[in-house]
Amino acid sequence: ADKMAPTLKLNSGYEMPQVGFGLWKVDQSTAADTVYNAIKAGYRLFDGACDYGNEKECGEGVARAIKEGIVKREELFIVSKLWQTFHDEDKVEPITRKQLADWQIDYFDLFLIHFPAALEYVDPKVRYPPGWFYDGESEVRWSKTTLQQTWGAMEKLVEKKLARSIGISNYQAQSVYDALIYAKIRPATLQIEHHPYLQQPDLVNLAQKEGIVVTAYSSFGPTGFMELDMPRAKSAAPLMEHALIKEIAAKHKKTPAQVLLRWATQRGLAVIPKTSRPEVLAQNLGSTDFDLESSDLEKIAEMDLNIRFNKPTNYFSADKLF
């Protein structure tokens, strides 16, 4: 218990661990062990999604840890996300219930709208997870459901105690402003791509000023996208080998990865890095026990290049979408 992450207070009243574990690209074959080992290493927050295709296996890891008495359900903070094909108002609750069943739990601590765009419904019996394409290959079919309607259905999840807090992901400022107008329950968190090459300071400031906790994903920038063979990620200089990040790390006797995580958490953001290596698990979880100097923060601010790795057109060509 000495290695626990600090927590952030959400506008819903709940406490959220500031350092968690991201479950994207965690193989089905290793997901149960990965989650189980991360719990043993002290992780309490898990960031999952329908789209990651591993919720059942992650749930097995959680169930094993609870059964062995390593952790209690109420000590965990389990996050999942609503995929775009489930934005229609009548589809939100049934899919949330399916995702909860996969995790073997009866509420999510936090449930997010994964992307601010609605796709036509695909029955889970036809294909699960459904991905972007209606036919599973290349056809994109938009739904006419608005984000306001979907948010209304998310609010019902809270009323029905299927989610304790609800939030948003991949929204830009305009959609955040809009959500703040119609929300009866305000988004507790905004999860966005955030690293020194994509800092989005205005969006972060807006959310924080409005009492929305920002969670940074892909804190290591291109590194998380190398596994996908993404050309844009390969052509960007790795952040962990960047001269400034290495220099700051050496000065604080920390690793470059810890500097990248601390740069976010020191500014009030939460982080959800992913790794399967035990020594790296501990390193990332323990990244909040030092402070960068204000001159370090100022120099890192200068690294912003506004390069976004996680956008649909980096995965498939734009003519499929527009």
Binding site for ligand NAD (CB under 6 A): 22-25, 47, 114, 169-170, 191, 217-220, 223-224, 227, 240, 255, 257, 272-275, 280, 283-284, 310
Q: Cα torsion for 215, 219, 221, 225, to the nearest 10°?
A: -80
Contacts of residue 32, defined as CB under 8 A and 6 or more positions apart, other chains included, come to 57, 58, 60, 61, 64
Longest alpha-carbon distance in the chain: 54
CB of 257 to ligand NAD, least distance (A): 3
77-82 vs 7-9, strand pairing mode: unpaired
Nearer to ligand NAD, 55 or 296 (CB): 55
CB of 171 to ligand NAD, least distance (A): 10
User: In 74-188, at which residue ranges do the beta strands (DSSP E only) sit?
Assistant: 77-82, 108-113, 163-169
196 C-beta neighbours (distance < 10 Å), count: 24
Distances (CA, A) of 107 to 78, 85, 160, 186, 191: 9, 21, 9, 19, 20
- What is the Cα–Cα distance from 50 to 91, expressed in whole angstroms? 14
Nearer to ligand NAD, 44 or 274 (CB): 274
- Is 52 among the residues known to form the active site? yes
Nearer to ligand NAD, 3 or 160 (CB): 3
Buried b vs exposed e over 66-83: b needs ≥16 C-beta within 10 Å?
Answer: beeeebeeeebbbbbbbb
Q: Are 191 and 169 in contact (CB under 8 A)?
A: yes
Q: Are 83 and 52 in contact (CB under 8 A)?
A: no
CB of 53 to ligand NAD, least distance (A): 12
Place of tokens 């790296």: 280
- What is the Cα–Cα distance from 8 to 6, expressed in whole angstroms? 7
CB of 69 to ligand NAD, least distance (A): 27
CB of 192 to ligand NAD, least distance (A): 8
- What is the Cα–Cα distance from 56 to 14, expressed in whole angstroms? 25
Nearer to ligand NAD, 150 or 169 (CB): 169
CB of 235 to ligand NAD, least distance (A): 17
Which residue has its beta carbon closest to ligand NAD? 22
- Of residues 36, 43, 52, 121, which has the active-site annotation? 52
Q: Which two tokens stand for residue 108?
A: 């999510």
CB of 143 to ligand NAD, least distance (A): 19
Distances (CA, A) of 117 to 33, 135, 141, 190: 33, 18, 11, 15
Nearer to ligand NAD, 145 or 223 (CB): 223
Nearer to ligand NAD, 254 or 298 (CB): 254
Residues marked active site are found at: 52
